[in-house]
Structure 1
Amino acid sequence: MATGKYISYLRVSTSRQGASGLGLEAQRTNIDNYLNGGQWTLLKEYVEIESGKKDDRPKLQEALQLCKATGATLLIAKLDRLSRDAHFLIGLQKSGANFVAVDMPTANELTIGIMALVAQEERRAISRRTIDALAAAKARGVKLGNPDNLTIAGAERGRIAGVKSIKSKADVFAKDCIERIIPLRAEGLSLHAIARVLSKEGILTARGKAVWTACAVKNVIERIEGL
């Protein structure tokens, strides 16, 4: 039975997953199930939206610092998802903060250390395989890269493709959010009230922020109406 102070850390790989709640809700459910019963306090929840390929984990560092400052235990929703993330594991190991992985509650510093070493070696192996494959392709006479991309026309094509990609992602984000906004509008809620609901439910904005504004809600609605 859980007792004491806790801080939860959730992570998803894309802003779309964060905005739609895909993955986050499952992780919150796992944490709620772990905390069910007992005398406990959840001080704060940290949500990280970052690819496993990147080493930057600002929210994790904030969570670990708060754990050490308050004496709270860090709750990790899905350690098995992060078992190949060497940076995460090493940071967790070196932090000195108490932690519990709700999907692997028996994990300890020794477990984390072994997983970190395995993850580091796997990353090195992947890097070596990539370098070897490129060298073999070059030896066969394969030209790496596209010279056309270095021309003005190529740069313009890249710019247009980038704009289309950004628009496409914004459209997908709006479609994910509008399903929650429509019933709130049907209830007669104002844009400000809808923003408060979305913020309270932990749905992130297109910029990955935890707090919605009336303007952000308006932008989603107008984007959907323009499709």
Structure 2
Amino acid sequence: MNIVAYYRVSTDGQGKSGLGLDAQREYIRLAAESNGWIIVGEYTDTASGTIPPTERAQCKAALAACAEHDATLVVAKLDRLSRDVEDIAGLMKRVQFKVATMPTADAFQLHIYAALAQQEREFIAQRTTAALARLKALAGTGNKEAQAKVARRDAGREAAQKVGTGRALEAKAVNADNRAKVLEAELKACLFDGEPTYSAIAKCLNGKGVTTDRGNAFSAMTVKRLMARLNIALPV
């Protein structure tokens, strides 16, 4: 069986140091050797697990590779894909995938594991919120140590938010570029098959059932933006 390996780390530091990444690779390598799987591609995202898999650039590339090679997507652990049941259910409709640490688990079992992982994430969030509320209440009484902890947390969140916003914008641009490249052939076919106008190209794409990244029909404006991203101009 051909497989595409997908790895995810949450920070640049983990990605560069190999912290967590080497372990993921080893899990998949051992599972592949034990089950006779052939690794035909490997993709790695540095992204938060809260970002849906289909919005991560390398995960999208891995899904495309699975379709190209008639391969199964494999992750070391289920949470490398997502801890969200809805995300896991959506992926099950798009691609076959397996988890290296439980290679014999079927779709039903994986769905149950995802539900348990989501429940644990919710419990952790509840405990964190409760602990923070207690810390803020203590800080409100004038406790210096509690006040210092709250200040450090606020500073850390502000710094993380700035980094996260930049990464989100970068990921959005990468996703848009990848989507544009996927549509390039269809766009060029419409460009040279009829009137060379944005409206005519939009009509052609819609007639073929091609949609925008959001699943909407093309308009003259969305065609213009797509062509600008691909650096393609209308014939003079």
TM-score (ref. length: structure 1): 0.48
TM-score (ref. length: structure 2): 0.46
More helix by share: 2
